[in-house]
């Protein structure tokens, strides 16, 4: 006799037990189906899942092959359920690994983070997490990373997560524009005396050559350059030869008097650059001498730009800044972006100095390897892969 039974349960072992209670061992499962039942016929609403089992009941003791058939069938169903469980487990494992990977990072670098910041980091969506990884990879410290991510993300109510508001390039540009100051030298009032100051070898002279080329060749500005790098053999020679090609007037000045004469000579120039040999922060006398040369210039005329390289440790940059704090530094130039992938590290110092950014340089080629400091150029430098 073939009969059909419907069970509210989906658990096949439970169903088998029920059947066994009813028919002992004298039944064979022929078919199992998952079905849906609706309270109102023909209206497919509020359906509930049931298991339909078709069995054959026999009066005779059960034969071996029938048992085999039933077991085979059950095996197949159980295997299917196991497969599903396996898949679910696998997906849970992957999720757990991701959480672990992320937690390790946060725990490793969260020494300075407040509780609410840690909570924020643990609520980031996939795209925001990718950006978090990138910012850490670029050397941004954890406090800055949180600040940038707070600007870059919005709350997604549906998923209860903070995720990127737009593409990484756009969100980074926007975040940087809010967090740092950016200035364009060409928008400065005319006849500023621009002096690049900083440690030895960061690229001050090379950067002056790049800026001057661009001002003269692209913006058709009138420029003069004065070098205070007179005590080193050949200190000013390369710059002088380069400027000759550009037909930019150049003077060397080793005294305050010579400097003032050069200033008078260049009184008609729109931009005036001062090249200074780099020196140690500890050489205070030498810094005093330099700023003494500028002392008769009205402060609003002088634009000393601290020049440091992306590959310097932020503490080293801050040490220089603190030593020079008595002087009127007005902005920053960051050089050698091409020499490190950790281009975010220096922003710990940038944030503390609160000086606006003027230029980034990214290579030795004059005049090409220079970028105006803009939020979007900074975003490009941060997103760029080597």
**With respect to ligand GTP, which residue has the nearer C-beta, 159 or 364?**
364
Minimum CB–partner distance for residue 204 and Mg ion (Å): 5
**With respect to Mg ion, which residue has the nearer C-beta, 154 or 278?**
278
Of 328, 194, 358, 215, give the one whose Cα is nearest residue 263: 194
Check if the beta carbon of residue 197 is closer than 8 Å to that of residue 294.
Answer: no
Minimum CB–partner distance for residue 298 and ligand GTP (Å): 27
**With respect to ligand GTP, which residue has the nearer C-beta, 188 or 339?**
339
> Looking at beta carbons, which residue is closest to ligand GTP?
278
What's 201's DSSP letter?
T
200 binds, among ligand GTP, Mg ion, none (CB under 5 to 8 A by kind): ligand GTP
364 binds, among ligand GTP, Mg ion, none (CB under 5 to 8 A by kind): ligand GTP
Q: Residue 57 contacts by C-beta under 8 Å, 6 or more apart in sequence?
A: 1, 2, 3, 23, 26, 27
**With respect to ligand GTP, which residue has the nearer C-beta, 161 or 228?**
228
Q: In whole angstroms, what is the distance from residue 240 CA to residue 282 CA?
A: 29
Asked if 307 is part of the footprint of Mg ion (rule: CB under 5 A), the reply reads no
Alpha-carbon distance values, 196 to 126, 209, 311, 331 (Å): 42, 12, 18, 10
Q: In whole angstroms, what is the distance from residue 213 CA to residue 248 CA?
A: 9
Q: How remote is the C-alpha of 299 from its chain's centroid? A: 37
Q: In whole angstroms, what is the distance from residue 249 CA to residue 243 CA?
A: 7
The neighbouring-strand residues paired with 227 are 252, 275
**With respect to Mg ion, which residue has the nearer C-beta, 145 or 213?**
213
**With respect to Mg ion, which residue has the nearer C-beta, 153 or 309?**
309
Minimum CB–partner distance for residue 232 and ligand GTP (Å): 8
CA atoms within 13 A on the CB side of 229: 27
Binding region for Mg ion (CB under 5 A) out of 104-112, 172-180, 185-193, 201-209: 201-209
363 binds, among Mg ion, ligand GTP, none (CB under 5 to 8 A by kind): ligand GTP
Can you give the binding site for ligand GTP, defined by CB under 6 A? 200-206, 229, 277-278, 335-336, 338-339, 361-364, 369
Q: Residue 121 contacts by C-beta under 8 Å, 6 or more apart in sequence?
A: 106, 110, 113, 132, 146, 149
Size of the site for Mg ion (CB under 5 A): 2
Q: Biggest alpha carbon distance in the chain?
A: 124
Q: In whole angstroms, what is the distance from residue 163 CA to residue 160 CA?
A: 10
**Burial status of residue 258 (CB atoms within 10 A of its CB: 0-12, 13-18, 19 or more):** middle
Minimum CB–partner distance for residue 338 and Mg ion (Å): 19
203 binds, among Mg ion, ligand GTP, none (CB under 5 to 8 A by kind): ligand GTP
Minimum CB–partner distance for residue 268 and ligand GTP (Å): 27
**With respect to Mg ion, which residue has the nearer C-beta, 205 or 377?**
205
Minimum CB–partner distance for residue 120 and Mg ion (Å): 44
**With respect to ligand GTP, which residue has the nearer C-beta, 46 or 231?**
231
The neighbouring-strand residues paired with 193 are 272, 302
Asked if 205 is part of the footprint of Mg ion (rule: CB under 5 A), the reply reads yes
Minimum CB–partner distance for residue 184 and ligand GTP (Å): 19
Binding region for Mg ion (CB under 5 A) out of 64-72, 142-150, 199-207, 356-364: 199-207
**Which residues lie near Mg ion (CB under 5 A)?**
204-205
């Amino acid at each position: 006799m073939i009969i059909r039974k419907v069970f509210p349960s989906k658990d096949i072992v439970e169903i088998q037990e029920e059947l066994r209670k009813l028919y002992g061992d004298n039944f064979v499962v022929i078919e199992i189906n998952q079905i849906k039942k609706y309270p109102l016929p023909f209206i497919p609403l509020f359906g509930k899942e049931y298991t339909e089992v078709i069995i054959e009941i026999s009066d005779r003791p059960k034969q071996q092959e029938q048992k085999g058939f039933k077991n085979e069938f059950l095996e197949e169903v159980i295997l299917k359920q196991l497969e599903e469980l396996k898949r679910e487990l696998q997906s849970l494992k992957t999720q757990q690994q991701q959480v672990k990977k992320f937690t390790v990072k946060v725990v490793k670098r969260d020494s300075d983070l407040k509780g609410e910041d840690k909570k924020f980091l643990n609520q980031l969506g996939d795209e925001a997490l990718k950006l978090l990884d990138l910012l850490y990879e670029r050397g941004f410290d954890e406090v800055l990373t949180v600040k940038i991510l707070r600007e870059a993300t919005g709350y997604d109510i549906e998923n209860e997560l903070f995720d990127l508001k737009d593409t990484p390039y756009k969100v980074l540009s926007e975040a940087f524009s809010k967090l740092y100051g950016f200035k364009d030298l060409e928008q400065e009032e005319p006849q500023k005396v621009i002096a690049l100051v900083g440690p030895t070898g960061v690229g001050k002279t090379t950067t002056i050559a790049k800026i001057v080329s661009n001002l003269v060749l692209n913006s058709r500005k009138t420029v003069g350059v004065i070098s205070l790098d007179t005590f080193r053999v050949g200190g000013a020679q390369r710059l002088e030869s380069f400027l000759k090609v550009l037909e930019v007037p150049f003077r060397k000045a080793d005294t305050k008097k010579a400097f003032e004469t050069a200033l008078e000579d260049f009184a008609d120039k729109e931009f005036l650059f001062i090249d200074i040999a780099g020196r140690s922060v500890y050489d205070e006398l030498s810094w005093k001498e330099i700023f003494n040369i500028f002392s008769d210039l009205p402060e609003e005329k002088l634009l000393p730009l601290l020049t440091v390289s992306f590959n310097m440790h932020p503490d080293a940059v801050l040490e220089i800044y603190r030593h020079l704090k008595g002087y009127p530094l007005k902005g920053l130039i960051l050089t050698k972006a091409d020499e490190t992938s950790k281009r975010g590290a220096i922003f710990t110092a940038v944030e503390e100095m609160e000086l606006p950014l003027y230029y980034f340089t990214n290579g030795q080629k004059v005049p090409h390897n220079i970028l105006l400091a803009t939020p979007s150029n900074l975003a490009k430098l941060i997103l760029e892969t080597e």
